Structure 1
Amino acid sequence: MKKLRVGVLFGGRSGEHEVSLLSAASVLKAINRKKYEVVPIGITKAGRWVTASDAERLLNGEASTPEKQLRAGDPETTSAAAVLARGESVIVPPVPSGNRTGALVPFETKASGLEMQAAAASGSVLNLDVILPVLHGTFGEDGTIQGLFELADIAYVGSGVLGSAAGMDKGVMKKLFAAAKLPMVKHVSFLRADWETKPKKVVAQVEAALKYPLFVKPANLGSSVGISKVHDRKELAPAIDLAASFDRKIVIEQGVGGKRGKARELEVAVLGNDNPEASVVGEIVPGKEFYDYEAKYLAEGSYPVIPAKISKAQAKQIREMAIAAFRACDCAGLARVDFLMDPLTSKTPKIYLNEINTLPGFTNISMYPKLWDASGVKYPELIDRLIQLALERRAEKERNQYSR
């Protein structure tokens, strides 16, 4: 049988660039080369799309051990980072190709039949059956790149434009969760412009609605970038300034557990399209006060507990809530759904839906694949299933009419 041609897209302009490189390195190492013809495609931090040959070279480096893979912020242990920064050969994003497979062609090439044939003959077209985007954060999982794939008519892994955008914007996400009657922590949101013009009013609004400690977050970002835990008023303004440097929308949440102790951080992996499945429940025990970027990728001390030490009833409730959250945001393919639970000191702990991540970390030591491994789906099989789900979603889309 003819191999499926799979483009693995990674890098990107977001603050999670290095995490993307680690995820892609794991995917390229594990993907079944007997089943797939793999086309690595890198995007530099400056937004340049590098050729497949450069991209292959950049992710065939030495960063292969779990210890090195965890050091996402250190270019010396992430060989991909240095090579991607040097990439000079450039391709450009997909454009409609007019055939069953999508194509990557130079902007200068018009999409007419003769010019497409000429481009194909010159080797400047990369025809693909499916794209596996291993992009995290802004411009990767926020619906922008998904819109590009839709315009190019290329099958791709993961949620569509709506699900991706909703899963990235914590403000919109929470409104969808509320409409689905899913339990969340108390929160407020406001715009950077409000903070810059009426800071006292914003502080008064926050303190009237919420109790310390608080978590201050940029609405659109991942990997806990720009998030601060705030214990009192003097810490509030610097935390808002930090969040506002990453996004125009800021979300502030009341900390679960209050002063009784740290909330338990629980996670579930979801897989599927219209009939999604949930993995076992896992727990992250952060090495710091909360599971921020440093705790996730740079510092020692954080560790997962899979399955989480909770009751069967609690696990069932969390798994059902994860699928409900997945559907509320119209997600597809994959997502990791995060929960907060009252501390162990609570007699009747409450469970709160925190957020959904539509393109979670995908290294072989990331929670999403580890949760599925504990549920009986090994890493290479997980990649296979995601590719099949992408093709199924494309086939479902082809049933639609776009003209009368």
Structure 2
Amino acid sequence: MTAFRKIFLLMLALFIATYLLGAVFYVHQARHDVQRELAAVTSLARALGSPETLPSGVAETLRHMRPAQITGLAPIQELPRWFESTVAGSQGYEVVNGWRIDPADEVEEIWEGFLLISASYAVGMALCFIALFWMVGQGIRPLANLASAMAAVAEGKLGSRLSRQNVVELDALALRFNDMVAALESEQKTVSRLLNELLQLQDKEREHIARVLHDDLGQYLTGIRAQARSWVYDPDLNERQRQQARDLAGHCETVQQHFRHLLQDLHPLVMEQLGLAGAIRHLAEQWQHLSGLDCKLTMDDPLAQLSGAQQTHLYRFLQEALNNVSRHANATCAMLAVQQNANQLHIELRDNGVGADDFPEKAGLGLRSMRERARCLGGRAQFLSKVGEGTRIKLTVPLGLPCVSGGML
């Protein structure tokens, strides 16, 4: 129940109780006045004597008393029986010296006064409710604005602020809210900056490890393989030793294949050689080969020129997205579309897996890193999933923007 409805019902009950209490007091006082008026009229009737002794026309001017022989006089207006019996009771209508004591006109006046007071009370109550509606509306509007601003903050819009209020208490609340959101925005920027630096440091460490492995361990493996190949043709070795040399060379080749996959995961050297478009094609082919799933790639070529950091973030985003499909989607194929226009780069990855209704809520570290990489690109990532309909991941990156290090995704 809304606050206005609660206040409305409370005020309505208070007005009704006040009206009923006032009506009881009014009727009680009216009965007392009627009895007092009847007592005075009875005394007057005794003092006047019979109606025949009075001059003609005098009897018609007297209130609350009529000659007893005149019957059937209708009241001025039809009164409710309950009101008449409550106010007049069984008293009155006595015959004193030929006069009939009749309080009907007094009761009519009391009834008219009761209607007038009730109408005035109803008008006053209506005006009070109009004023109450306006005042409650004025008081609730800042609270509604506060609720809207809090909802915007919950959606990640930390730029929401409340305007100054005319009421001191509400103005203090607005100022505290603005201070809280400003502090939260500052902390969010700090966290985003640290996450971005962490991702950049992670990519640099991966690149360093990949180069060290490629230049050192890779050369050793190549040398061992070449040496094993040379032993195959060594006449001083017997056939068993030559077979061992062949096996050693084959093992070295297998290790080198896995080694190349490891280097590709650590640092996409192919991107330096083939560019972003070639790296994406190579990534799709490699993922298709390793996962055993079909990957249908459609891509505009050539792609817009991005900085080295942006290319790395974009490549890692797609790499993590494809890995999630092979690990969790239980799909048979994935469709990757990379399209661009003059202002934006659009990427969409769709699978035919099982999907999940609570996909964003059960996000792990990989999904959070994808969100952060999208933020670093100055874009926005959307994750759409439904049970039985697979999962869609959409990334929109504005072109011509530098790689950011703060802000809110």
Using the size of structure 1 for normalisation, the TM-score is 0.23
Higher relative contact order (CA 8 A, sep 6+): 1
Higher strand share: 1
Structure whose alpha-carbon radius of gyration is higher: 2
Using the size of structure 2 for normalisation, the TM-score is 0.23
Higher helix share: 2
